[in-house]
Amino acid sequence: MMRFRLLTSAFFVVAAASYPLSGDAADEPAFNTVHAGGRNYINIADFVRYYGFDRNWQQNDQDVTLRAKYRKFQFKLNGRESWINGVRVWLNDSPLEYRNSILISETDVRKTLDPVLRAWAAPRRKVRTVMIDPGHGGEDQGTQGYRGTLEKRVTLDMAARVEKFIRRSGFETLMTRRTDTYVSLEDRSQLANASEADVFVSLHFNSAKPNPLPKGVETYCLTPVGLASTGSIRRQLGMGGFDEEPGNQFDRQNMVLAYVVQQKILKALPEAEDRGVRRARFFVIKATERPSILIEGGFLSNPSEEKRILNPSYRDKLAAAIAEGVKRYAALMDPPVKKSP
């Protein structure tokens, strides 16, 4: 059943308060929050009004769609998948329908949606140098495909291709390894922290062995403080209390970087399944004191996807898309030019 609804400004309260969404930018919005089930939620009426979506929104059973001139936001009630302009973005909490209105987690608005919908509000730092991190190496072979493909070799090849395209765009580059050598996770982060890198991009390929069916590309950024990572069983058990990591100081930039890179990959590779922007506490992105992401460029455990990954043309397209994502992020983070008085 499809419904079209006209939002009102009313909100339904279990326990309500009004305070700024976050302290990351001077112009953060203040919302009326609804406290339910131990979490704070924001009424969709406030969300639509602030972010400029049309007040007429569409609901088809559990699927909700909000539209504006240049953006579309879709999500599922009682599910954690959402899509911003067609790119899958995983939420921390499921949106709820409550007393004829819809509530979206305040944490998800603050930490996941707002950085994408208002990328310009993230603290800006000019991007000059990009550090590329080819996963694994040496005795650490990573995963292995059914055709014998070693992850460590494909990531090194991908890193060289990504570097080529990034340098063409005018950026300097650094690499955590350029040969088939072992570099510890700690050393990778320390290399980034001791360098002049403004962005850290870690390259990997996935595996679901012994299941050959999963496929697709996913981009990870660091999980915010106190939240469980996407798919974590600790989330299902209600366990939290995760401490702040060095990379959490870049929560907004991390989300912007992950989103634009995933967006560019999907545009360049329409045959790739979108597994979404996800959260994790991988060591190389939690210990790196730079905006950081980790890309899983496909499943070597899926025979058809492994075949595509082995095609140099496919890897070139993937590398170019990653570079385009970094370029787009750099444009968004470029500080505004101050006019002379």
212-223 average pLDDT score: 97
Question: Looking at residue 186, what is its pLDDT?
Answer: 97
What percentage of the chain carries pLDDT values higher than 70? 87
102-127 average pLDDT score: 93
Q: Which one, of 113, 110, 93, lies nearest residue 235 by Cα?
A: 93
Which is more confidently placed, 24 or 308? Answer: 308
CA 96 – CA 258 distance, rounded (Å): 26
- Band (pLDDT 50/70/90 cuts) for residue 28 is low
Q: Are 83 and 89 in contact (CB under 8 A)?
A: yes
179-183 average pLDDT score: 98
User: Is residue 296 over pLDDT 50?
Assistant: yes
CA 212 – CA 305 distance, rounded (Å): 10
Question: Looking at residue 5, what is its pLDDT?
Answer: 44
User: Is residue 120 over pLDDT 80?
Assistant: yes
Which is more confidently placed, 279 or 2? Answer: 279
Q: Name residue, tokens 């790196």.
A: 288
51 phi and psi angles, rounded to 5 deg: -90, 5
* Residue 64: strand pairing partners: 59, 75
Q: Name residue, tokens 């959260």.
A: 279
CA 137 – CA 306 distance, rounded (Å): 19
90-96 average pLDDT score: 93
The two three-digit tokens of residue 216, written as one number = 């697709």
User: Is residue 79 over pLDDT 80?
Assistant: yes
201-221 average pLDDT score: 97
Fold of 2-119: Copper Amine Oxidase; Chain A, domain 1 (3.30.457)
- 20 CB-near residues (< 8 Å, 6+ apart): 28, 29, 30
For the chain, the average pLDDT equals 89
Q: Are 40 and 11 in contact (CB under 8 A)?
A: no
Cα-Cα end-to-end distance for the chain: 58
Alpha helices in 57-172 (DSSP H): 106-108, 114-117, 151-168
Q: Which one, of 43, 71, 46, 77, lies nearest residue 59 by Cα?
A: 77
**220-267 pLDDT tens trace:** 999 999 888 887 766 555 555 578 999 999 999 999 999 999 999 999
Domain boundaries, the chain: 2-119, 129-333
- Band (pLDDT 50/70/90 cuts) for residue 13 is very low
Question: Looking at residue 16, what is its pLDDT?
Answer: 41
133-149 average pLDDT score: 96
Question: Looking at residue 233, what is its pLDDT?
Answer: 62
Question: Looking at residue 237, what is its pLDDT?
Answer: 56
User: Is residue 213 over pLDDT 60?
Assistant: yes
- 325 CB-near residues (< 8 Å, 6+ apart): 257, 260, 261, 262, 263, 264, 265
Which is more confidently placed, 49 or 99? Answer: 49
140-166 average pLDDT score: 97
Question: Looking at residue 245, what is its pLDDT?
Answer: 94
CA distances, 150 to each of 48, 140, 220 (Å): 47, 10, 21
User: Is residue 23 over pLDDT 90?
Assistant: no
Question: Looking at residue 27, what is its pLDDT?
Answer: 57
Question: Looking at residue 33, what is its pLDDT?
Answer: 84
DSSP conformational letter for 218: E
Which is more confidently placed, 306 or 233? Answer: 306
Question: Looking at residue 266, what is its pLDDT?
Answer: 98
**197-208 pLDDT tens trace:** 999 999 999 999
User: Is residue 22 over pLDDT 50?
Assistant: no
Q: Which one, of 257, 25, 231, 205, lies nearest residue 121 by Cα?
A: 25
Alpha helices in the chain (DSSP H): 44-51, 106-108, 114-117, 151-168, 185-193, 233-236, 251-268, 283-286, 303-309, 312-333
Q: Out of 2.40.50.140, 3.20.20.80, 3.40.630.40, 3.90.950.10, select the CATH number for domain 129-333.
A: 3.40.630.40
The two three-digit tokens of residue 185, written as one number = 């996770």
| Side chain identity at residue 140, one-letter code | D
DSSP conformational letter for 169: T
Question: Looking at residue 340, what is its pLDDT?
Answer: 52
CA 300 – CA 314 distance, rounded (Å): 14
User: Is residue 166 over pLDDT 90?
Assistant: yes
User: Is residue 217 over pLDDT 60?
Assistant: yes
